[in-house]
Amino acid sequence: MATNSVKLLGVWASPYVSRVEIALKIKSIEYEFIQENVLNKSELLLKSNPVYKKIPVLFHDEKPICESLVILQYIDEAWLNGPSILPSDPYDRAIARFWAVYIDEKWYPLVAEYRNAEGKEAKAAVVEKMSEGNLLLEEAFMKISKGKSYFGGDSIGYLDIVLGSLLGWVKAIEIMDEMKILDETKTPSLAEWAERFCSDNVVKDIIPKPEKLVGIYQKYLEMKKATSS
C-alpha cells in the first residue's frame, strides 16, 4: 500500500503539523513539505479539506488525509515497516485514543483560554483548571507508561506525539507569562517526561523552539491590535 508519493501541507509553527512530521520520521518516510499560508488559504487546502479547512493535510498517492489524529493512525496502518506508533493491544489502543481526544478537546484549549483571560482572578481560575488537568495526565502517564520513559513505553508512541507536539507552545506561554504550566513540584513525572521528549533525537529538530514561537505570537498580537484600531 505504501509508496514514496507523500506530501505534507502545513506550516512549521503548527503543533498539529509537527505531529505528522514526528510520525513520518519515526517510520523513516520521505516526504515533500508544502508551505501553507493560513492567512490566505490556498485552493489546495480548501479543496483537500473542505469540511474544516485546516492544516495539516497529508497526501499519499495524491489522496488527502485530514486531521492530525486521523493522520497519525493512518500512517501507522499504511506503513507497517518500522516502529509502531499506536499500541498493539486493542484495549491499550482504545485508552490511547481516549486520552488523545482529552488532550485536544479539554486540556490544550485551556492554554488558549488562559492567554485570553483578562485580569488576575480570571487567569487564576484557568490555572486551577489546568492544574486539575495536569494531575489527570500525571496519573494517566504513570499508568500507561508502566514505569517506562514514555507513554509508548521505551520509545515515543501515539500519546507522546499528541501531547509532546504541544510543548513548544506550552513553553512559549510559560516564557511570555513567567509562569509554569507543567510544574515539576506538582506533576514531577509529567515534567520529566516533557524534558525527555523534547531532547529525544526523533523530535528535537521538529518541535519549534519556544523563543521563535514567542516572536510569532507577539507579531500576531501586533497585527490584531492594528486591525482592531
The CATH number assigned to the domain holding 30 equals: 3.40.30.10
135 contact partners, CB below 8 Å, separation of at least 6: 186, 187
* 89 burial type by CB count under 10 A (0-12 exposed, 13-18 middle, 19+ buried): exposed
229 assigned to some structural domain: no
The end-to-end CA distance of the chain, in Å, is 53
Q: Is the confidence at residue 226, as pLDDT, over 90?
A: no
Q: How far is CA 142 from CA 47, 87, 131, 190, in A?
A: 42, 16, 17, 9
Could you tell me the three cell numbers for 223?
A: 497585527
Give the per-residue pLDDT at 5.
93
Q: Is the confidence at residue 228, as pLDDT, over 90?
A: no
Domain enclosing residue 197, as ranges: 90-213
Give the per-residue pLDDT at 94.
98
| Counts of helices then strands in the chain (DSSP H, E) | 10, 4
Q: Is the confidence at residue 2, as pLDDT, over 70?
A: no
Distance of CA 215 to the CA centre of its chain: 19
Give the per-residue pLDDT at 229.
60
Give the per-residue pLDDT at 190.
97
103 and 44 in a single domain? The answer is: no
177 and 129 in a single domain? The answer is: yes
Q: In what order do the strands lie in the sheet with 6-10?
A: 32-35, 6-10, 57-60, 63-66
187 and 111 in a single domain? The answer is: yes
User: Per-residue confidence at 222, pLDDT binned at 50, 70, 90?
Assistant: confident
Instruction: Kindly report, residue by residue over 140-185, the tens digit of the pLDDT.
Output: 999 999 999 999 999 999 999 999 999 999 999 999 888 999 999 9
Q: Which CATH number do you get for residue 136?
A: 1.20.1050.10
Average pLDDT, the chain: 94
Give the per-residue pLDDT at 111.
87
Q: Is the confidence at residue 210, as pLDDT, over 90?
A: yes
Q: How far is CA 39 from CA 35, 54, 223, in A?
A: 12, 11, 12
104 contact partners, CB below 8 Å, separation of at least 6: 69, 162
154 assigned to some structural domain: yes
95 and 190 in a single domain? The answer is: yes
Q: What's the pTM?
A: 0.94
CA distance 26 to 152: 13
Least confident of 72-76, 80-84, 102-106: 80-84
94 and 38 in a single domain? The answer is: no
